[in-house]
A and B are shown apart, each in its own frame.
Chain A
Amino acid sequence: MISLTRALKAADDGPLELESIVAVLSAQFDVATGSKRLVRRRRVDTFDGRLRAAGLTLEHQLTAVRGSSGRDSAEQLVLAWPDGSSPLVVPVKDVRWPAPADVLPSGPVRDAVAAVIGVRALMVASDERRRMRRLELRNPDGKIVARVDLDEPASPTAPAQPAQPAQLTVRRLRGYDDQARRADSLLASLGLRAAEQGDISGSGSEQRAPVTDRAVDARVLLSTALNGFLLTMRQNLPGLLDDVDTEFLHDFRVAVRRSRATLKLGRPVLPEVMQSRWEPAFRWLGDLTTPVRDLDVYELDLPAMSRWLVTADPADLDPLATHLRSRRSVARKALVRSLRSARFRRLVMEWGEELAFLVDSPGDENREQRSAGLLADQTIARAYRRVARDGALIGADSPAEDLHGLRKRCKELRYALEVFAPMIDHAASRRAVADLKDLQDVLGRFQDSEVQRQALRGFAEEMMAGGTTAGAMLAMGELIGHLDVEQERARRAFDVAFARFGRPSSLQLMHRLGGGR
């Protein structure tokens, strides 16, 4: 469905004169001018701009029309591709945002969007009212050979949002490239110039530039990282509270976890208040969000888990799905209550103030001053030594707790590599993270299997008390059996993964990153 388009606008971004446009095009085409339509154009994307990152543009257009019962609106979704091929247009009715991909009508638009956005919901990224007029350029057979859309700002829905200037878009139709080129040249004679596609950001991210100077005070580096995590928490909070999709909570938790890890890694240089007040505060925040996230993970994993079943039917797990939803609903109410509490609001506000004070203050005289580079080297070295030491102690008879402990050490090393990434060699850091990731995956599979098994037993007891079906119990038993096998498999894979992590090339890599010191 190739049909490239080219957008033009006035040299001064001013209005465009319809009469002169029609006059110049009429020299070579039979021009049919459509009536003026008021179109509300909502660009939708995920919060983290996944469609934009994939080069896709999805617009929900509402056009005012006069229907049988007075004023009405025609709705359509328009999906534009990165290669400029002609957009897909699908009629829709009463679509409300935010919404997951499965509210879109089945077909190519939904398929393309769902493949990119995954579990994320679509939200309105920009909302503009435009006056649109379409000119159809026809050949002597009456066939449309090119279209020209005149698109002018009406009134922005959000007053603060700057409106795009008036623009003309020449839409080339497949098989009629010459005619579109002719229309382009005719319009060029009016002094129009090419318009850049408007960049309408979804998340409005304003991350600070990373600190890369190794000589800078370590507190500057830590403060920059912690401010970045605070910003992520603030950005994700509204979507978390509105339950737009599960990724808001996930991203919020990642920011909390990274804040905790950074506070711990930075203990040698950070003021004492960080350990006495803020580490417990972030532990509280992490614990607060765990129940809902755990239930989210079970719900998201349920389709994959149902494929493990050998004798039971996937439908046998329906009571489990219902139980998870009901548990989540209760857990979410508690979470929302806490996130709307004065304690949480104070935490966020005072944490921001603390971070501002961290860099501006002369420093805690009880703490030494260290450069960011030195702290990076020392922290990575210590974290690496701990992983190597604890991993070497694990034998065939080691209890599961030892592997859990090692997993925590690995996480500390991973966070150290990530937090101090601006201080260390980028390529080496990426390779070290990749090496570590293999080991973390094995340890993760081992621990997740155990935790999930215990959780499923707990759910089974709760469901029994509520009088669930025998089919559900048997199916859950199968899942527990599968997890048991999976844990065994992960345990067997550990030795190989740890040996790979400790191989000479990996050790050399750690030396380069300061980890061998």
Chain B
Amino acid sequence: MKVLATYNIKGGVGKTTTAVNLAYLAAREGRRTLLWDLDPQAAATYMFRVRPRVKGGGHALVTRRRPIEEALKATDFDNLDLLPADFSYRNMDLDLDDTKKRTRRLGQLLDTVAAEYDMVILDCPPSISLVSENVLHASDTLLVPLIPATLSLRTLDQLTRFVADSQGSRPEIVAFFSMADRRKRLHRDVIDAIPRDRTRVAETVIPALSIIEQMAERRAPVPAFAPTSRAAQCYEQLWAEVRPR
């Protein structure tokens, strides 16, 4: 089982759309895939038309009062299950803080379903927190969407240092540009200038396209409702770059 997390300290950079589309693509090629929507805003859960509710909330999951299997929901797509968000996830830091091995608990929970899935995608909330530390330890790859802006590069620096300073196993960081508009000079300059020596940067750039925004309206991944669109092709290229071999 491989674990990929879409993560950024900043919000609104395309984490959820990326997680949803890549999870769909992983499942489409036959991988048994689980998407865990860790963000209490529940956008990924909404896009799959699932109710954002977990019995007993995040506390029951983290403390193992309820097994993770009981909370899983099939999506409308073959091979793809969802562990929905719950508003109580906003307190997940506190729940984790009360557990033994508090920075490893999410990984331990995923281990309980390792035989059922080939791929797990974590859609993370925007923050640096105990949840983030758990995500670092549980993931093989940290996929970081960046809006092409100077401050984004600074954020990537912060994130790279955060990962480097963490104890134990560290995921590979793969950054990629999201919501890019090549008509804007600043976007072009930032994409060209990003240093590629310290952090792996994917070649694929996800453009700012209205069809991606339509995901919330259509409540489905782009390759499902617009399979030949440019956005679908971009996500397919991104998946080809980051999928486990």
Contact = CB atoms under 8 A, between A and B. Distances in A.
Interface residues of B, number: 22
Interface in B43-66: 48-51
Contacts of B79: 1, 86, 88-89
Give chain A's interface residue range (CB within 8 Å of chain B).
20 to 34
A176 B84 CA distance: 13
Nearest to B30: A90
Interface string A389-412: 000000000000000000000000
Given A3-B74, A173-B74, A174-B74, A143 B29 contact: no
B30 A144 contact: no
A107 B74 contact: no
Contacts of A86: 74, 78-79
Interface in B1-47: 28-32
Contact of B30 (A89, A142, A174): A89
Most B-side CB within 10 Å, residue of A3, A88, A105: A88
Interface string A88-105: 111100000000000001
Interface string B70-95: 01111010110100000000000000
A173 B49 CA distance: 14
Interface string A126-147: 0000000000100001111000
Most A-side CB within 10 Å, residue of B29, B72, B78, B116: B78
A303 interface: no
Contacts of A144: 76
B219 interface: yes
A88 B30 contact: yes
A15 interface: no
Contacts of B78: 86, 89
Contacts, number: 58
Contacts of B30: 77, 88-91, 105, 107-109
A91 B73 contact: no
Contacts of A141: 49-51
Contacts of B116: 1-2
B29 A105 contact: yes
B22 to A, nearest CB: 16
Contacts of A174: 72-74, 81
A108 B118 contact: yes
A108 B74 CA distance: 18
A142 B49 contact: yes
A174 B151 CA distance: 42
Contacts of B51: 141
Given A141-B49, A141-B51, A142-B219, A91 B29 contact: yes
Interface in A246-301: none
A389 to B, nearest CB: 54
B197 to A, nearest CB: 32
Given A91-B28, A91-B30, A105-B29, A175 B72 contact: yes
B227 to A, nearest CB: 12
Contact of B74 (A89, A90, A136, A175): A175
A34 B7 CA distance: 38
A173 B118 CA distance: 19
A30 to B, nearest CB: 12
Nearest to A139: B49
Interface in B168-203: none
A141 B117 CA distance: 27
A91 to B, nearest CB: 7
A144 B224 CA distance: 15
Contact of B73 (A77, A88, A107, A175): A175
A283 B90 CA distance: 78
A141 to B, nearest CB: 5
Nearest to B73: A175
A143 B28 contact: no
Contact of A176 (B31, B48, B73, B219): B73
Contacts of A107: 29-31, 118
Given A174-B72, A175-B72, A176-B73, 7 more contacts: A1-B116, A77-B30, A89-B79, A105-B29, A141-B49, A142-B219, A176-B74
Interface of B: 28-32, 48-51, 69, 71-74, 76, 78-79, 81, 116-118, 219
Which 6 A-B pairs give the minimum distances between C-beta atoms? Answer: A90-B30, A175-B73, A173-B74, A143-B49, A174-B74, A89-B78
11 contacts: A1-B79, A1-B116, A2-B116, A3-B74, A91-B28, A91-B30, A107-B29, A174-B73, A175-B72, A176-B73, A176-B74
